[in-house]
């Protein structure tokens, strides 16, 4: 382990992921509706924790050896359904987010979607009923772009191989229990919704479509003060800090950006050290839930421009940005 106090926190998190998948799938296979509901919720949460452990691996906070972090990260990508993208590409994109203090992407769907009003209406209808259509599209693009962009054609064999293996896995699951395969999409959509909710309200960064290019102007425009001013901590609970374990302390986002190599289990203490109890960058969970609901269709084409003052009203009017998940390497 990279840190001497990291063995048990990381081990427990990884064991929980295994537990959530095994027990969740077992519950989904039962004929009792209650067992199905609990199984779906448990599987979805297992994917959430797996995703945030990938984030830990990307920052090399689990193992002292970077190759071991990469190995674990690659394994966990299979648990989240994100193995179509390569871990190295996911890590590289996320590092651009930290170093450039911007949301750097290879494909900004907003500029294309605005040109297709009918498709936009369909997506708005889906988002209105809380189906995370934009996130589905962004994850689907990981499979599609290698066959449409010359600079990504080297990923074609990887995408085909992962797709074939996942089809085989789901075929075997269907042979064992068709109910599991039918319920899996619900768990996956819940997982995407949780991840999107956390990502949407953590920054007011500008979006730059320069991931596949040489670092340009955006790499030098913003400093650490800008980073903290446009980063927000969306804690599940301030009063009961243990509830933030539901997202592996990912809500302590200002502390994370201040010291990115701090492991997840030390973030509450780091937050107290840096900001005390009165940090203005904390946005109340209830306010963000209401904003997430209120702006769920307006958010589709929204792109923040930085320094728009979301801390002033504690996130009540925080529209946010879609399509910035660290699990999509484009």
Cα(75)–Cα(69) distance, integer angstroms:
10
The backbone torsions φ and ψ at residue 205, rounded to the nearest 5 degrees and listed phi first, read -90, 155
- pLDDT at residue 219, rounded to an integer: 65
- Flag whether pLDDT at 276 surpasses 70: yes
Tokens 């998948």 sit at which residue?
21
The β-bridge partners of 233 are: 282
The whole-model pTM stands at 0.96
- pLDDT at residue 30, rounded to an integer: 97
Quick one: which of 143, 76, 57 has its CA closest to 330? 143
Residue range 220-248: average pLDDT? 93
Beta-strand ranges (E) seen in the chain are 103-104, 207-208
Angle at 289 between CA 308 and CA 303, to 5 degrees: 35
- C-alpha dihedral sign at 83, 88, 91, 95: negative
- pLDDT at residue 304, rounded to an integer: 78
Residue 218 pLDDT grade (very low, low, confident, very high; cuts 50, 70, 90) = low
- Flag whether pLDDT at 214 surpasses 80: no
Residue 245 pLDDT grade (very low, low, confident, very high; cuts 50, 70, 90) = very high
- pLDDT at residue 221, rounded to an integer: 74
- pLDDT at residue 84, rounded to an integer: 96
Cα(330)–Cα(213) distance, integer angstroms:
12
Residue range 46-64: average pLDDT? 98
Find the helix packing angle between 87-100 and 66-80, rounded to 10°. Answer: 110
Over residues 299-312, the pLDDT tens digits come to 999 987 777 877 77
- Flag whether pLDDT at 290 surpasses 70: yes
The backbone torsions φ and ψ at residue 64, rounded to the nearest 5 degrees and listed phi first, read -75, -25
Cα(26)–Cα(326) distance, integer angstroms:
29
List the single range of 102-111, 216-225, 228-237, 243-252 with lowest mean pLDDT.
Answer: 216-225
The helix (run of H) or strand (run of E) holding residue 18 is helix 7-28
Cα(132)–Cα(51) distance, integer angstroms:
17
- pLDDT at residue 149, rounded to an integer: 87
Q: How many CB atoms lie within 10 A of CB 97?
A: 18
C-alpha distances in Å from residue 32, one per residue of 19, 176, 322: 20, 17, 36
- Flag whether pLDDT at 172 surpasses 70: yes
Q: Domain boundaries in the chain?
A: 1-80, 101-232+283-330
Over residues 18-42, the pLDDT tens digits come to 999 999 999 999 999 999 999 999 9
Query: pLDDT above 90 covers what percent of the chain?
Result: 82
Q: Give the residue with greater pLDDT, 167 vs 222.
A: 167
CB-CB contact of 98 with 260 (8 Å): yes
Which letter does DSSP use for residue 284 in this model?
A: -
């Amino acid at each position: 382990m990279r840190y001497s106090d990291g063995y048990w926190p990381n081990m427990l998190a990884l064991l929980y992921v295994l537990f959530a998948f095994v027990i969740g799938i077992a519950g989904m296979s039962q004929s009792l509706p209650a067992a199905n509901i609990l199984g779906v919720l448990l599987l979805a949460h297992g994917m959430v924790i797996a995703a945030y452990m990938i984030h830990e691996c990307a920052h090399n906070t689990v193992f002292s050896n970077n190759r071991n972090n990469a190995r674990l990260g690659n394994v966990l990508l299979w648990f989240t359904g994100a193995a179509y993208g390569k871990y190295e590409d996911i890590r590289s994109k996320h590092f651009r987010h930290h170093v450039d203090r911007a949301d750097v992407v290879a494909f900004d769907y907003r500029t294309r979607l605005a040109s297709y009003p009918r498709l936009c209406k369909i997506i708005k209808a889906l988002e209105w009923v809380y189906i995370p259509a934009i996130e589905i599209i962004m994850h689907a693009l990981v499979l599609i772009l290698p066959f449409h962009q010359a600079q990504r054609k080297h990923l074609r064999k990887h995408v085909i191989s992962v797709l074939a293996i996942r089809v085989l896995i789901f075929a075997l699951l269907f042979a064992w229990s068709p109910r599991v395969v039918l319920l899996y999409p619900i768990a996956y959509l819940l997982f995407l919704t949780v991840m999107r909710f956390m990502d949407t309200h953590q920054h007011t960064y500008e979006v730059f479509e320069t991931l596949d290019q040489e670092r340009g102007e955006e790499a030098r425009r913003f400093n650490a003060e800008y980073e903290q001013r446009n980063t927000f901590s969306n804690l599940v609970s301030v009063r009961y800090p243990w509830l933030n374990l539901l997202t592996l302390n990912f809500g302590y986002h200002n502390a994370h950006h201040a010291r990115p190599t701090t492991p997840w289990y030390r973030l509450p203490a780091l937050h107290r050290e840096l900001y005390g109890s009165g940090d203005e960058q904390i946005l109340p969970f209830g306010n963000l839930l209401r904003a997430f609901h209120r702006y769920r269709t307006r958010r589709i084409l929204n792109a923040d421009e930085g320094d728009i003052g979301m801390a002033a009203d504690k996130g009540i009017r925080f529209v946010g940005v879609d399509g910035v998940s660290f699990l999509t390497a484009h």
